[in-house]
Amino acid sequence: MSGLFITFEGGDGSGKSTQIATLAARLQSLGADVRTFREPGGVTPDDAGERIRTILLDPAHMGLDVRAELLLYEASRAQLTAQHYRPALAEGAVVLCDRYADSSVAYQGYGRDVLPVDEVRELNRIATGGLVPDLTLLLDIEAADGLATASATGPDRLELAGLEFHERVRAGYLAIAAAEPERVRLVPRGSVDEVAAAIWTHVEPLLARAGLDAR
């Protein structure tokens, strides 16, 4: 058994965490061994990935160089992939990730608009050893709408990057989805229930691969 690797992508404030929790519960009710993660980050507060997350989100680091930023995201991703994603998938688990490699392409590539996108892709490949998701759900949201939601809890360093940056991020995501329509499924905005239903139509056909029966 080789598990199922599903990643969630989208702009800030696109509602990924609610949808991940809903999907995790639904899969668990079918008997799946579901493991959820979020990037950047780790699993326990002491994990290096959580320290990296603190550095990346801290508005004190507005001057962080684009390459330094990219490599920190990749460092977090490399550790999670080696320590958690690959072992979990080898055990046949369903791995749900709140962001993965496409985030670096969208944010550090298209968003920052400094590094060639192919360089970002190459670093993703190095960091993950080439682990590609079975399915990526792109929760689409207009940049301004997403920022309005996300900022309600106090903006982090990325949310402070400005509307034009976030518009490039969104355009980047749409380009990724257009280039890889088999892997990346675009989920339009809607109510929480509508989005959950759309997500399920993309997940259901993959269940057999993880040894699950949709019923």
> Which residue, 71 or 207, is less far from ligand TYD as judged by CB?
71
List the end-to-end C-alpha distance of the chain, in Å, as a whole number.
Answer: 20
In degrees rounded to 5, what are phi and psi of residue 5?
Answer: -115, 110
Site string for ligand TYD, 169-208 (x = CB under 6 A): ----------------------------------------
Q: What Rg value do the Cα atoms of the chain yield, rounded? A: 16
Q: Does 166 bind ligand TYD (CB under 6 A)?
A: no
> Which residue, 3 or 15, is less far from ligand TYD as judged by CB?
15
Which residues neighbour 63 within 8 Å (Cβ) at sequence distance 6 or greater? none
Closest CA to 98 of 160, 162, 53, 149: 53
Torsion angle of alpha carbons 23, 24, 30, 31, nearest 10°? Answer: 170
Site string for ligand TYD, 21-60 (x = CB under 6 A): -----------------xxx----------------x---
Q: Does 108 bind ligand TYD (CB under 6 A)?
A: yes
For the CB of residue 98, give the shortest distance to ligand TYD in the complex, in Å. Answer: 6
Q: CA of 38: how far to CAs of 42, 66, 89, 162, 179, in Å?
A: 8, 21, 16, 23, 24
Q: Does 99 bind ligand TYD (CB under 6 A)?
A: yes
For the CB of residue 85, give the shortest distance to ligand TYD in the complex, in Å. Answer: 13
In degrees rounded to 5, what are phi and psi of residue 110?
Answer: -65, -40
Q: Does 128 bind ligand TYD (CB under 6 A)?
A: no
For the CB of residue 31, give the shortest distance to ligand TYD in the complex, in Å. Answer: 28
Would you say 84 and 131 are in contact if contact means Cβ atoms under 8 Å apart? no
Of 81, 104, 128, 136, the one binding ligand TYD by CB under 6 A: 104
Q: Look-up: residue for tokens 């675009």?
A: 186
Can you point out the beta strands (E) in 12-78? Answer: 34-38
Q: Does 140 bind ligand TYD (CB under 6 A)?
A: no
> Which residue, 98 or 134, is less far from ligand TYD as judged by CB?
98
Residues that bind ligand TYD (CB under 6 A): 12, 16, 38-40, 57, 73, 98-99, 103-104, 107-108, 156, 158
